[in-house]
Structure 1
Amino acid sequence: MLKILAVLVGIFVLLGIGLWLAVRANGPAVLDTVDRIAGPSNDVELVETARYGDNPEQKLRVYRDETASGPLPVFIFYHGGAWAHGDPDDYGFIARNIAPEGYVVVLGGYRMNEAGRYPAMLQDTASVVAWTRDNIAKHGGDPDRIVLSGHSAGAYNAVQVALDGRWLDNAGVSGGAIRGVVGLSGPYDFHPFDTDRSKAAFESVGAGPESQPVNQPLAAAPPMLLVHGEADTVVKIRNSQALARGLREAGSQVDTLYLPDASHNAPLLALTNPWRRDPQVFDRVTKFLRRATDVSVPVQAAKP
């Protein structure tokens, strides 16, 4: 009996080590697999993959609930990864959870590392919006009802593009198409640059205070929801607090959700299965989306 127990313990230890290594190698891909297994079945399908530039990272993926009728508002999500790593291919869990609420979901990639140094990541963020405006109608999406979102570096991209109008203008997009922004664990006030990643992405090309969302004109900002863990040691919560304070002082609409004892990745986990069993974050996000895009009810409830 003791020998069997020892074998079982050894197996679980090996499985745990394997999972830990997989998460370290590509955490979002592991999340995507877990969500696919743990979540309810639904009719969300990948309906298009596309490229909007020559760099392999300039790509996007479009998902929709195949049973939904349009025109549907559009949710564009940008991955995190400190402007150095990440791939929209690994974030299908965002689409599987958001699309059934009545949205066409676009997962946007952008150039990273040397090719993606400021402002290239913002140019690409705006280019994803431009592609969406030009093409989303064929998938039942409404090009005039777009919400931008992202986690960590992706949240910075989404917020900065929504606030600094030159990037959308240069991409030929009217800022009025952006109905709202959801930022998860985003850096919005990090100048002077004090980490290796921020120095590589911003300081190395001479970026300054103009690169910061908190320093943009905030009076004309679209409605925003900022979600942040109070125990985030990667991107301190003061980033969301500073941006929220500035938006309120400028008279713009901003909602905040600060999560006690929550880490950097907690807001992202809360949008996936099985962590969605605590509905606090997911319910706040979907409530904000419906208010911003005038969607009153989900198109279709997930199948059991």
Structure 2
Amino acid sequence: MKLRDRVTPSGLRKGLAGALMTLAAAAAFAGGRVEWAIPYRASDAQLPEDAYQRTQCKLDIYIPEGVEDFPTVVWFHGGGLVKGGRHFPDLKDKGIALVAVGYRLHPQANYPAFLDDAGAAVAWTLDNIAKYGGDPNKVFVSGASAGGYLSAMVGMDPRWLEAYGHAPDELAGIIPVTGQMTTHFNVKKWLGDEGLQYRPVVDENAPMYYVRRGLPPFCIIVGDRDLDFPARVSENQFMADTLKVLKNKQVEFYALEGLSHTQVSAGAAIIIPGFIERVTETGPAKKK
């Protein structure tokens, strides 16, 4: 086909759009490189190619360039455990690796599939991050909303990491962003609770159930008391206060005035690098 035959106005628009998308992607990942759609559970390879678990249980990893022994944030997306997809938080180009996790959702999968997936993805990170240049002793778990709930559960309830040969004490820190510290409202519903959505339940499916002395450092971030979900600030404040009462060494709590539930992640992106720096003490990962 001759060049003039394929450079039509329509083709030109498509070409420009493609070029702009390529430039946007390059800009989005400035300061690092990305590997996409990595299965985090080796056994999934035995499943049919179109099996939901095999297609859903993957992660993307952003690796900072020119940095050694960098910290890593494993990030779980929100969506009430029924929707959403893996994505990176706005923490790129800060010398921090990011692991964006896809996990099984209801109703395609039932409780506790998403918790098992969270444990498997964090275990994969602990096992593999050194191959990318990261420090396995600097792995933090985080996420927003339902992802905040998952990060707290995998960081506090030992069942989910123990299933993959690890323990919560191996984590450098836990950073739930506007997550439920009581049992997630959908989890309690799926397990037969008929109470109102905002009636708190603290059972073995609640991060609060696993509060103890000697947990990894905590950074709890929520929105405005009047704009975040009802009682979300109060239950997270109670979690932070209880962690402090039990003499956990490093507990930070932030209620971000003026930010709604869906806006908190933007504010959290400002706070998280400083928390990581304080925890690791040495500051940002060293430049090569």
The TM-score by the shorter chain falls in which range? 0.7 to 0.9
Cα contact 1:184–1:267 (8 A) shared by 2: yes
Aligned to 1:251: 247
Question: What code does the residue aligned with 1:62 have?
Answer: I
Distance 2:112 2:28 in 1: 39
SS of alignment partner, residue 84 of structure 2: coil
- 1:49-198 correspondence to structure 2 within 5 Å: 49-53=37-41, 54=44, 55=53, 56-66=55-65, 68-88=66-86, 91-92=87-88, 94=89, 97-190=90-183, 193=185, 197-198=186-187
Cα contact 2:71–2:96 (8 A) shared by 1: yes
> 1:201 Cα shift?
4.4
Q: Does 1:214 align with 2:208?
A: yes
Distance 2:210 2:83 in 1: 26
Q: Does 1:227 align with 2:225?
A: no
Cα contact 1:223–1:254 (8 A) shared by 2: yes
> 1:132 Cα shift?
1.1
> 1:46 Cα shift?
0.8
Cα contact 2:68–2:285 (8 A) shared by 1: no
5+ residue gaps, structure 1, are 1-32, 271-280
SS of alignment partner, residue 101 of structure 1: coil
> 1:282 Cα shift?
3.6
> 1:85 Cα shift?
0.7
Cα contact 1:100–1:299 (8 A) shared by 2: no
> 1:182 Cα shift?
1.0
Cα contact 1:116–1:201 (8 A) shared by 2: no
Residues 201, 132 of structure 1: CA spacing in aligned structure 2 closer, same or farther, 3 A cutoff?
farther
If asked which structure has higher relative contact order (CA below 8 Å, sep 6+), I would say: 1
Alpha-carbon displacement from aligned partner over 1:222-280 (angstroms, at most 9, x marks no partner): 1111111122126721221121122112111310110123210121133xxxxxxxxxx
> 1:105 Cα shift?
1.1
TM-score between the two structures when normalised by the length of structure 1: 0.72
Distance 2:215 2:257 in 1: 27
Question: Aligned to 1:290, which of 252, 277, 281?
Answer: 277
Distance 2:219 2:191 in 1: 25
Aligned to 1:46: 34
CA RMSD of aligned residues (A): 2.6
Aligned to 1:241: 237
> 1:181 Cα shift?
1.1
Residues 73, 172 of structure 1: CA spacing in aligned structure 2 closer, same or farther, 3 A cutoff?
same
Alpha-carbon displacement from aligned partner over 1:62-89 (angstroms, at most 9, x marks no partner): 11122x232222111110100001111x
Answer with 1 or 2: which has the greater Rg. 2
> 1:52 Cα shift?
2.8
Aligned to 1:276: none
Alpha-carbon displacement from aligned partner over 1:157-182 (angstroms, at most 9, x marks no partner): 11111111121111111333201011
Question: What code does the residue aligned with 2:32 have?
Answer: V
Cα contact 1:77–1:150 (8 A) shared by 2: yes
Question: Aligned to 2:263, which of 258, 262, 266?
Answer: 266
Question: What code does the residue aligned with 1:257 have?
Answer: Y
Residues 198, 119 of structure 1: CA spacing in aligned structure 2 closer, same or farther, 3 A cutoff?
closer
Q: Paired residues, what number?
A: 243
> 1:114 Cα shift?
3.1
Cα contact 1:234–1:264 (8 A) shared by 2: no
More helix by share: 1
Cα contact 2:211–2:243 (8 A) shared by 1: no
